[in-house]
Amino acid sequence: MEKGIDMTTRAETAAKIDHTVLSPQSRREDFEAACRFAAENGCASVCVCPFFVAEAARLLAGTGVETCTVIGFPHGTHATAAKVAEARIAMADGATELDMVVNVSKVKDRDWDYVRRDIGAVCEAVHGEGRRLKVIFECSALDDEEKIGLCRICTELKVDFVKTSTGYGAGGATVGDVALMKANVGPDVKIKAAGGIHSLSQLLALEKAGASRFGCSRTAAVLEGLK
């Protein structure tokens, strides 16, 4: 454990982490172990593949840990209607938090009307059920102007979180991207850093830059303060 990290801070840190299992090679035992780990450590949520949402919700019932899944993952190029349908299925299965990937292709085209409609349709469906929506930018594929454009749209639509990365792009969360998001979203939009967070020192640097939620698959290493 890194110097200066006591058990209280460990618990507080765990409560900011979405413990994540999204590899297509994951087996049932991996998803079940993730739910047990998150419940034992008090994580914010477990983020799992859509097909495992119903089982995760059952395993997490009564633990205080949210059930999270991904929409339009990992490239965001699904038709908007497909994203909305996927979100509705996930919520019916028990998902309380949904992480949606923007249509990166449309962002690169600067087709902001399409991007706004795409995010807005999912946001309306998710908020209509009283659930939370996190919008994944895939920052490594975007320039600063594109990131700022997304921040403005997400602020306008009142999404709950903007998120840096899927973890499947060329790069993960960076302090620079989190700081840029923090400077360009409204005060009611929170920031989730995800992708490549392997240590407590990384997490703390991202938190200092403005993130308040973190997506980690190596949560045990982060909480133990390992390099």
Domain extent, residue 218, equals 7-224
pLDDT exceeds cutoff 90 at 7: no
Tell me whether residue 119 is in a domain.
yes
Considering the candidates 18, 93, 99, 160, report the single residue annotated as catalytic.
Answer: 99
CATH of the domain at 82: 3.20.20.70
User: What's the number of domains the chain is made of?
Assistant: 1
Count Cβ atoms below 10 Å from residue 198 Cβ, excluding itself.
15
Tell me whether residue 2 is in a domain.
no
Find out whether 162 and 151 touch, Cβ atoms under 8 Å.
Answer: yes
Considering the candidates 106, 134, 147, 192, report the single residue annotated as catalytic.
Answer: 192
Tell me whether residue 1 is in a domain.
no
Please count the CA atoms within 13 angstroms of the CA of 34 that sit on its side-chain side.
Answer: 32
**How far is the first Cα of the chain from the last one, in angstroms, to the nearest whole number?**
10
Confidence (pLDDT) at 189: 98
Q: Mind listing the pLDDT tens digit for each residue in 82-94?
A: 999 999 999 999 9
Report the DSSP beta bridge partners of residue 162.
Answer: 135, 191
CA distance 47 to 56: 9
Find out whether 139 and 165 touch, Cβ atoms under 8 Å.
Answer: yes
Q: Active-site residue 99, yes or no? A: yes
Tokens of 85: 């349908």
Q: Active-site residue 192, yes or no? A: yes
Tell me whether residue 143 is in a domain.
yes
Model confidence band, residue 38 (pLDDT cutoffs 50, 70, 90)? very high
Tell me whether residue 200 is in a domain.
yes
Tell me whether residue 75 is in a domain.
yes
Name the pTM for this structure.
0.94
CA distance 22 to 44: 16
What Cα–Cα distance (Å) separates residue 42 from each residue in 14, 97, 172, 205, 217? 6, 16, 24, 21, 15
Considering the candidates 106, 134, 147, 163, report the single residue annotated as catalytic.
Answer: 163
Model confidence band, residue 3 (pLDDT cutoffs 50, 70, 90)? low
Tell me whether residue 29 is in a domain.
yes
pLDDT exceeds cutoff 70 at 62: yes
Going by C-beta distance under 8 Å and a sequence separation of 6 or more, which residues neighbour residue 103? 72, 76, 77, 114, 115, 118
Q: Mind listing the pLDDT tens digit for each residue in 115-172?
A: 999 999 999 999 999 999 999 999 999 999 999 999 999 999 999 999 999 998 878 9
Tell me whether residue 185 is in a domain.
yes
